[in-house]
Amino acid sequence: MRRGPRRFPVLLLAAFAAVVLVLSSCAQIPRSGPVGKSKEESAGNLNVPDFFPPPPQPGAGPETVIEDFYGAGSGYADDYAVARQYLTQSLSVSWKSDKRTLVYRKAQVVPTSVENEFRYELDLAYAVDADGVATHYPEGTLESIPVTVEQVDGEWRMSQVPDGTAIPEQTFRVIYGAYPIYFYDPGFDYAVPDYRWFIKKKTVKAMTSALLAGPAPYLRGAVVSAFPSGIRLVRESVPVVSGAAQVDLSAKELVEASAEDRQRMQNQLLLTFRTQPDVISVQLRADQDLVRVEDTGAVLPPVLEKSVPARQIVVSNGELARYENNRLTPLPDMQPVAGLGPQEPAESPASKSVAFLNGSGSTLYSMLPGQEPRPLTTRSTLTRPSFSLQDWVWTAGPGANGGTQVVAFKPSAAAKGGAVPAVSLTPRWLAGRSVKEFRVSREGTRALVISELRGRTSIQVTGIVRNPDGSPRGLTSPVTLEASNGVDHGVWVNSATVVVMKASASGNVAPELVPLTTGLPQQLPAWPGLTGLSAGNGGDEIYGQSAAGLFQRVGNGWELQLKGPIDPAFPG
C-alpha cells in the first residue's frame, strides 16, 4: 500500500558557467590536474566507504535470513554476491539486483497465515528505478514485499522475492549520490539537467545507460536527446582509459547519424560526465572502433545556465519602471498605465514585451513599446505573468466552468490590431487545485507550479511540451518538491534550484532554497513582512519585498536596497 507518490529526478545543486570544448575525435572536459590512471570502469567517488555485509549464518531462522538478505543490499560488490547467498540457487541466478532500490525509514518482517510466506514491511522513503529516477514518499507510506522461503540442505533460503534491493535511508545517502544527466531544449541551444541517483562508485556506466534510455517521465516531450531511439551500449562497461570515457555504441545508429548529431551526442556525454573527476574526455566507438567526430562549425555547445539580465521590472508610484544598479528609470517607450492600477509585472527576456495584472488581479495586460496596453484574459483570479524564452507569457486561473486553466499568449507575434496567438491548457493533475504561482524556467522547457488543494500546498515542476512551431501544446505530469506547507510564492534561482516562501505582511518569513533533488530544502534567514520574491543569477541575487522596501539576501541576513518600488521581477 502506498500513499502520495512523488516522482522526480534528482541531484545536489550544480551551477555550471563554462562551455564545452569540442575536439575532432576525442572531446575534452576542460579541467586542470592530472589525467589519472587507466581503468576498465570509472570508479566514481573513491572516498565512499565500502560495506561488507555478513554471509548467511548457520542455523538462522527465516525471519533472520530475510532481514540479513536486505541488510546485504548495502554490499553491491561483485553484483551483490553476498546477498545472492541468501537465495536458492535458481533464484540467485535470476534475481535482478538493479531493477529497483527501495529506501526505508524502518522495516520489519511480518509472518503471514501461509506457511513459509512472509512480508517485509517498509516505511518507504524513496524508490529508485534502474535508470536512477527517484520517487519520494511521505512518512507513513507502507510498502509490503512478499517473500517465500524454503530449506536447502537444512538452511533457510529465500525462494521467491521481487527483483531489487532495500536499504536504510542512512545507508542510501552514503552509497548513492545524486548526479545530473543532460538533455537539450528542442532547439539544441540549452542544456537541461535531469537529476538521478547512482551508486557513487559506479557512476559513468550508469549515467550512460540512463542517458540512452531517455529523460525522466516529467521531461518526456519537453526535452530532446541527440541519441536516436534504439541506440544502445554494446559493452557492459564504459572503460575510462587515460581519462577518456570510451562509449561503445551500436554501430548502425551511430554510423548512420549525421556529423552534427554525433557532435551533439559527444557534447551531451561531456556535460553528463562533468561531475566525474576521472573523466577528462569522451570517445564515441561503434562496436569498439573509434568514430571520428568532426567539428563542422554548425554545432555550438549548449548553454549550461541561461542567465537573466541584471535589471528588474517594478511598479513605482503607480507606473511600470526599471530597477537596475540600485536606481529607478522609466521603461523605454512605454505608455502610462497608472489608471489600470498595475501590479505583478513581467518583462520578456526575448523581446521588449511586458505584461502585468490590473489592480484587482483579474485581468492580464500586455504592452509593446509605443502601443497601448492590451487586455489578454480576464478571470476571477490570475497568477503573476511569466514570460518564456520563446516569448510566450503565461498565467493560470479558473476557466469558464470553474476548472483550473493555464493560458499562454504571444503578444509580440500579433500584428497591430490583430489577434494575439493564445493557448489554453487544462492538465488533469491541476483539477480542483488553486494555482498560486506559475513560473517558466530560464530555458523555457519547464515551469514551477505552486498550487493548493484542501489546504495542502504542492510545489511541483512540470515539463512544457511544444509544437514544431514552438507554440505550447501541453504540460507533463509533474514532479513534486519538498518544502514547508502553505508556500504561495516561488521563483527560479537557476536551472537546478527554486526559492519559495509563504508571504506574510506581519510575521517573520523564512524563504527556502529547494533543489530539484530529494535533498532537504535550505532555509534562508527570516525577515519580517516579506510579501514578494525575485531572483537573478544564483543564490546571492535573491530579493525580498516588504513594506520597508526591497531587500537583497546578503550572507546570513537581508540588506535594504531601495524604498518605494514594489513587485520586482527579473526578465522571465
Backbone angles phi, psi at 356, to 5 degrees: -160, 165
- Does an H or E element contain 89, and which? helix 89-94
Q: Which residues of the chain have pLDDT under 70?
A: 1-47, 518-519
| Cell numbers standing for residue 158 | 529465500
Amino acid at 288: Q
Supply the angle between the helices 259-272 and 203-213 in degrees, to the nearest 10: 130
The pLDDT assigned to 416 comes to 78
d(CA 253, CA 232): 9
| Cell numbers standing for residue 151 | 530449506
Three-class DSSP category at 339: helix
C-alpha to C-alpha distances, 462 to 223, 496, 558, nearest whole angstrom: 12, 14, 31
The pLDDT assigned to 45 comes to 58
Q: Are 562 and 549 in contact (CB under 8 A)?
A: yes
Buried b / exposed e across 20-47, counting CB within 10 Å, b at 16+?
Answer: bebeeebbbbeeeeeeeeeeebbbbeee
DSSP E strand boundaries for 401-503 = 404-409, 422-425, 434-440, 446-453, 456-466, 472-475, 479-481, 489-494, 497-501
Q: Are 504 and 526 in contact (CB under 8 A)?
A: no
Q: Give the angle 188-193-197 at the CA atoms, nearest 5°.
A: 145
Amino acid at 12: L
The pLDDT assigned to 403 comes to 87
C-alpha to C-alpha distances, 467 to 110, 222, 268, 385, 464, nearest whole angstrom: 52, 10, 23, 21, 10
Reported residue count of the chain is: 572
Q: Give the angle 473-477-480 at the CA atoms, nearest 5°.
A: 135
CA atoms within 13 A on the CB side of 354: 30
d(CA 364, CA 301): 37
Q: Are 319 and 337 in contact (CB under 8 A)?
A: yes
Q: What confidence tens digit (pLDDT) does each residue in 88-145 have?
A: 999 999 999 989 999 999 999 999 999 999 999 999 999 999 999 988 888 899 999 9
The contacts found for 334-337 with CB under 8 angstroms, 24 or more apart, are 334/367, 334/369, 335/367, 335/370, 335/371, 335/372, 335/373, 337/365, 337/367, 337/373
Backbone angles phi, psi at 254, to 5 degrees: -70, -45
CA atoms within 13 A on the CB side of 327: 4
DSSP E strand boundaries for 90-189 = 100-111, 117-129, 134-136, 142-152, 155-160, 165-168, 176-184
The pLDDT assigned to 7 comes to 43
**DSSP string spanning 414-428?**
SPTTSPPPEEEE--G
Task: Dihedral sign for Cα 96, 101, 102, 105, please.
Answer: positive
| Cell numbers standing for residue 162 | 521481487
Residues 6+ apart with CB under 8 A from 210: 131, 132, 181, 196, 198
Residues 6+ apart with CB under 8 A from 61: 156
- Does an H or E element contain 365, and which? strand 363-367
The pLDDT assigned to 42 comes to 47
Q: Are 266 and 27 in contact (CB under 8 A)?
A: yes
